Amino acid sequence: MTKIPGRTQRSGGLFRRDLLKLSGVALGAGAAAPILGRSRPARAATEITFASAKFFGKETIAQLVDAYNASQDKVHVTYRELPPPSASTEVHQALVQQLARRNGAPDVFTQDIIWIAEFAAAGWSLPLDDHIDSSEIGAYFPGLVAGCKWQGKLVALPWFVDSGMLYYRRDLLEAAGAKVPETWPELVETAKKITDAGQAKLGFLWQGKQAEVLVCDLVSFTGSNGGAILDADGKTVRIADPAAVEAVQFMHDTIATHKISPPDLLSWDEEPSRRPFTAGQAVFLRNWSYVYGISQDASESSVVGKVGVAPLPHFPGKSSAASLGGYQYGVNASSKHKEAALDFVRWMSSPETQLRFALQLGLAPTRQAVFDHPELAKAQPFMAQLKPVFLGATPRPVTPKYPQVSLVLQSEVSKALAGGDVKGALEAAKSRIDAIVGV
């Protein structure tokens, strides 16, 4: 391992000045001062492992891990890359298999916000209350901190927040004299107008694949009609209520009736739906925040400077809803190197690293001061604009049994979309979920 003493030299160099303004904590804590003119006594670093879904952008997670390794010489992290978050079921399975062995590996992991309850209830996540200063916790958005708790204990440390949003082609809307749609009927009308005129091939892209992202889309369509999957009590299943049936009918109709969405999207998750949009073929796209950076990168996008981002539309008389996403850090309760693991997660969640993730990978910070950072406002202007959307996003059901609930929704909503019997499929989903959540 090559050791470069002093984290401010490598990882912090870029942002040092800004971060001094942001917070003294990240740069002060643990930054090893170079010892000039003397060689350091050799010391073996504590070896730990870190497993995370693969995220990409101008940098990779592996590069961030390298920066941590280079910033100090006490801990050395080996990164084990899991599939991308769109392969949610596979990432979940890999983590469950490893954590259930309770052998301490991986020492640190990242988890989708929907697994926090399950991992904590299984006793796999180290409670962090005694290890993270309560003043530090106040630096994060309170909603995210709440999402990182299970039965009153902090069992995860915030990494990034995400939410579904509407990407639109500003240039096409302007040329058509259309405003950014606030309701679904407005979106249908504008999509039709622009595609009928031959200005774009595709109207509205979303993700219909039988996968976790379908549940995310379901949450926002249903929520935008005042409906829900489960009530706040975590037991009353509302997925077959009229508001949800009407919302899923609309998802189906975007393809079958309005013809603003291509039937192909029934097999698309995030990336297949993103590509036609950044290739300039579509008017509207529902997706996560990572798309903005790609859409403004001329090597990947033909719509640089032509993209707007807005809250997702809603049913007339109702309010917009976005599904809450994002991954958070966990420390393995069986880790044999907890102090080293904690040092690493503190660094990963520091203001400096959160800013770097936001600028380089497009992942929205969970620290209030980093979210409001001027450099971020320049690079990802939509984040500041959509701050209320991120912070008001709707969580998927919070229960240790979430993965089972999700698999039922994925299969029944897929059936509804492909076959058209929306009411029948949602009734079936309701009775299967009733059996899981125990009513």
Query: Binding residues for ligand GLC, per CB under 6 A?
Result: 85-86, 88, 112-114, 162, 212-213, 216, 288, 325-326
By beta-carbon proximity to ligand GLC, the closer residue of 215 and 425 is: 215
What are 8's two structure tokens?
């401010």
State the nearest-atom distance from the C-beta of 88 to ligand GLC, in Å: 5
* Helix, strand or coil, per DSSP, at residue 140: strand
Determine the Cα–Cα distance for residues 129 and 367; give it in Å rounded to an integer.
17
What would you report as the CA-atom Rg of the chain, rounded to the nearest whole angstrom?
A: 22
Toward ligand GLC, which CB reaches closer, 206 or 288? 288
In whole angstroms, how close is the CB of 14 to ligand GLC at the nearest point?
25
Closer residue to ligand GLC, CB minimum distance, 270 or 412: 270
Kindly tell me which of 274 and 346 has the beta carbon lying closer to ligand GLC: 274
Chain centroid offset of residue 334 CA: 26
In this structure, which amino acid lies at residue 263? P
Whole-angstrom CA distances from 209 to 157, 341, 394, 432 are: 30, 36, 21, 20
Give me the half-sphere count of Cα atoms (radius 13 Å) on the Cβ side of residue 102.
4
Smallest gap from Cβ 82 to ligand GLC, in A, equals: 12
Least distance to ligand GLC, CB of residue 292, Å? 14
Backbone angles phi and psi of 283, in degrees to 5: -85, -45
47-86: burial string, b at 16+ Cβ within 10 Å, e else? ebbbbbbebebebbbeebbbbbbbbbbebbbebeebebbb
Which CB atom, from 86 or from 261, has the smaller least distance to ligand GLC? 86
Longest dimension (CA), the chain: 76
Residue 270 CB, nearest approach to ligand GLC (Å): 6
Distance CA 45, CA 25 (A): 23
Number of residue whose CB is nearest ligand GLC? 325
Judged by beta carbon, residue 11 or residue 210, the one nearer ligand GLC is 210
Smallest distance from ligand GLC to CB 163, Å = 9
